[in-house]
Structure formats: structure tokens, C-alpha cells
Amino acid sequence: MIRVLNVAITDNLGGIERYLLNVYENIDRKTVQFDFITECDTTPITDQIQNLGGEVFRVASAKHVTQYIRDIRHEGQNAARQSLRLRR
């Protein structure tokens, strides 16, 4: 299975969020799974993502660039570890 980490969904259900959710709903989720990184505590599509098998990771605000980068690296590593566990 391939896991794709999508960065920066927001609490506003705009064009990119709708597009990614539409793609996610219509792909073969046995082959590809989407995970998402967000600055928000919750998003309008968090429940839908989780119901489809994806994870939503929370990171620091991009305004705090250093912490934001650390968080993305950390969450990306967590997603990679989870993906490896699923493959075994």
C-alpha cells in the first residue's frame, strides 16, 4: 500500500480540501491511502478522512516556521512508520 501525506488542509472547506476529499473517496484505498497534516485542531473533513482510513496529524502554525518544520518531519516519520507496520 502507498501512503500519501497531504500537507496543509485548513478549517475552511475550500477548493483544495474538496478536491482532495473527492479524489480520496474515489481511489482504490486498498492500494493508496491519504494522510493529512493541518494546523487546525479540527477540520470540516477530519471525520470523513478517518472514516476512509486516513490519519490527520496536527502541527504548529506555519507562522512559527522552525517548529512547523520539526512537526512536519516528526509527523511524516510517524506516518512512514505506520505505513511500514501496515505492510508487514
What confidence tens digit (pLDDT) does each residue in 56-83 have? 888 766 666 677 677 777 777 766 566 5
> Which long-range contacts does 8-12 make (Cβ < 8 Å, 24+ apart)?
8/37, 8/38, 8/39, 8/62, 9/36, 9/37, 9/38, 9/40, 9/43, 9/45, 9/56, 10/38, 10/39, 10/40, 10/43, 11/38, 11/40, 11/42, 11/43, 11/44, 12/44
pLDDT value at 88 more than 60: no
pLDDT value at 45 more than 80: yes
Listed by start position, the domains of the chain span 2-87
Domain 2-87 sits in CATH at 3.40.50
pTM for this model (two decimals): 0.68
